[in-house]
Structure 1
């Protein structure tokens, strides 16, 4: 029987899970528990043709995880018969401690707890999932897979901010990156598809959260997200790059407190701040709508998004000393043909050319969308962070 891994992504009020066969890449079953602690929760479990949707209160993460295990027993597949060899946990922040997956011991749990200061919105929620899952599935090894691990070995010139050294060291301020599991999966997949290990790659992970990485022969040499996922590209609700002095200005002139600024930059900016909507699909519809202020705002927002992406591509191409492959991935990267076209049109003066039909075609498969004479191969490669977590977890058990 094939070995399987149960992948868990625990959020502050949610638990996403998927049972995966790492060898084949097949997702056997998956589900979601959301609105934990609210008056009405939601639980969904999918296995084969069976879909269970429940709307009922979920008191806490323990209650949610117990319900997940009950659904595996009643709807399937039975975990005891599925040869589950590991539970893989997605962890956003691994700090300076982790450059790969780690078997979760009390010591490892303590380090994840210590890193909550660097990821206060994520690591505490991950710990809830870890604690509950370890208690309810104590006979199975649990493995932590870190979003930051792929970027742990960034060159010091990339990872180090020009901040007072003593202050930076005292408060662990450096570039950690994020989405590393996706960037590693996609860049590795590109190398496999092209049969090369020496590629100079730029990977664009474009979703509600967005990041870009420069990967040289399988090693990340730069990434757009920094101490937190706020830095870099324009995102659904995040500013991306912005002059740090904006914080001082808003504090002094607007009287805004730290928590207000955090909320403004992380939850009320980006596409949402520019247009009132954080969904790229909705913004595109606005940009195609009747003449007026709303359409103008949407068109400006799209132009800002593309400009920022192109800026990073140019910068990273210079760092890499050239570019072999540019890859689009994640929800927007995989599905927004217009965005891919707009980005590549900006790169046309450098010989980048895409096939209009290949770009417009919808597919769940990895594919090349550039023309044969393009100076850079342009690809669309679906990411699969859950599969990446499952495979990394398997390496330790």
Structure 2
């Protein structure tokens, strides 16, 4: 067996994703998900050798802990106990404290918990997963890989908010950006595919999924990104609004809405779901469009228009453009959404290759459009955040 296996853990507020990754080949040897934490129907499932297994999780107590305990016995039963060299944790928010992957100790864990003010839905869950993993694997080195770290290369003019600067000094209010491991990975893969040095490259990476963001990557470094202080900013998403006039918040609260109602609406009842009143899933939006549902069509048009606007605006931070790179669940699989986005960019000279666009789906990479005007292409690169986390860990052993 390989000696480069890393257990990658991604703890959510009510879920825990995990995978055993071969950091050399990039293969996921085992992958799984614990979900519905806090509910009686909490389960853990995993895939190994093409077979999927699912079990209920003990109803009482800390579900993160129960899930990781079951993960320990699973690893033992599959014979991987002596082959895992490290545990890597995806942590959403590293603030300005963490600009790269770090080995976890008590001080790091305390700092992750302290940053919970910046990511109240994510960092406390990440800390729970870390604590449970340290208890379960006390002899393995454990590392935190931060979503925000890649974006710490943004210049001050890109991350500074147009508000009283004291709010940055006192509370750390600024643009942080997220999906950093994905933007990092696909920009490197795009450079390999196009056979250009990443240190002399220019990309606009477009991560489209239930959460979505755009990033300007020059010479391998993030120069600007659409998510902000929180993952609510930027593009319209599955249930999140993206950018809106902040005056809307004051308006609704004057109408009697509570703070909780306003932010529940912005985070959970907006985006595809809010505009269509049907679903937060892009596939459901496309199906409803085919059936003539006008609000689904509007959600499709709003989403693709806003993505195109962000892409065009991210020419500004770049000094060169080699490619627009689509990734994420929607970006990798929806040829219809990609085509509409690129049609909105026709003034930049992009012409869609219909055959290439159709082929670049379901795990297949490829060039899907070209612009002679810019001397650039649009392409699809499937992301692999787990592999980034695994390799970050191995590099620091």
Name the CA distance, whole Å, in 1 between partners of 2:11 and 2:57. Answer: 19
- Which residue of structure 1 aligns with residue 38 of structure 2? 37
Aligned residues: 389
**Cα drift, residue 58 of structure 1:** 4.2
Cα deviation, 1:253-304, whole Å, max 9, x if unaligned, reads: x2122222111100010111111210111111111214xxxx2111111111
Q: Give the match's secondary structure for 2:153.
A: coil
Match of 1:248 in 2: 250
- The answer to whether the 8 A contact 2:3-2:84 is kept is no
CA contact (8 A) 2:350 2:371 kept: no
Partner of 1:178 in structure 2? 178
2:84 counterpart of 1:84: yes
Of residues 223, 226, 239, the one that matches 1:224 is 226
**1:279-331 CA-partner distances (Å, limit 9, x unpaired):** 111111111214xxxx2111111111111111111111133144220011000
Deviations 1:79-136 (A, max 9, x none): 323x211100000000011111000011111110110000000000000000010011
With over 3 angstroms needed to count, the CA separation of the structure-2 counterparts of 1:58 and 1:367, relative to structure 1, is farther
1:36 CA drift (Å) = 2.0
Q: Is the 8 A contact 1:205 1:211 kept in 2?
A: yes
**Over the residues paired in the alignment, what is the CA RMSD in angstroms?**
1.4
Q: Distance in 2 between matches of 1:372 and 1:246?
A: 38
TM-score (norm 2): 0.95
TM-score computed with the length of structure 1 as normaliser: 0.95
What is the distance in 1 between the residues matched to 2:20 and 2:264? 34
Q: Deviations over 1:195-228 (max 9, x none)?
A: 2221211011000000000011111100000000
Number of the residue aligned with 1:54: 55
The CA deviation at 1:184 is 0.5
| Maintained 8 Å contact 2:218/2:319 | no
2:362 and 2:233 map into 1 onto residues whose CA distance is 31
Structure 1 match to 2:210: 208
More displaced, 159-168 or 51-60? Answer: 51-60
Partner in structure 2 of residue 117 of structure 1: 117
Which sits farther off after the overlay, 387-396 or 17-26? 387-396
Summarize deviations over 1:35-79 as a string: whole Å, max 9, x none.
2231122111221144221134443221111111112222x1x23
Per the TM alignment, residue 373 of structure 1 is displaced from its structure 2 partner at its CA by: 4.8
The question of whether the paired residues in 1 share the 8 Å contact of 2:22 and 2:28 is answered with yes
Match of 1:134 in 2: 134
Relative to structure 1, the CA distance from residue 373 to residue 166 in structure 2 (aligned partners, 3 Å threshold; closer, same or farther) is closer
| Aligned equivalent of 2:369 | 370
Report the 3-state secondary structure (helix = DSSP H, G, I; strand = E; otherwise coil) of the residue aligned with 1:152: helix
**Residues 35, 58 of structure 1: 8 Å contact kept:** no
Which residue of 1 is the match for residue 285 of structure 2?
283
Q: Counterparts of 1:1-397 in structure 2 under 5 Å? A: 1-59=2-60, 60=62, 61-74=64-77, 76=78, 78-81=79-82, 83-196=83-196, 197=198, 198-252=200-254, 254-276=255-277, 277-290=279-292, 295-361=293-359, 362-371=361-370, 373=372, 375-397=375-397
Could you list the runs of 5+ residues in structure 1 that have no partner in the other structure?
Answer: none
Residues in 2 aligned to 1:115 and 1:85: alpha-carbon distance in whole angstroms: 28
Give 5+ residue unaligned stretches, structure 2: none
- The whole-number CA distance in structure 2 between the counterparts of 1:165 and 1:51 is 52
SS in 2 for 1:31: strand
- Contact persistence 1:16–1:33 (CA under 8 A): yes
Q: Is the Cα contact below 8 Å between 1:92 and 1:146 reproduced in 2?
A: yes
C-alpha distance in 2, partners of 1:141/1:319?
38
Give the stretch that moved more between structures: 30-39 or 270-279.
Answer: 30-39
Distance in 1 (alpha carbons) for counterparts of 2:296 and 2:224: 30
Cα contact 1:154–1:220 (8 A) shared by 2: yes
Contact 1:36 1:64 in 2 (8 A): no
Give the match's secondary structure for 1:80.
Answer: coil
Q: Distance between the aligned counterparts of 1:208 and 1:367, measured in 2?
A: 22
Q: From the superposition, tell whether residues 58 and 384 of structure 1 become closer, same or farther in structure 2 (CA, over 3 Å).
A: farther
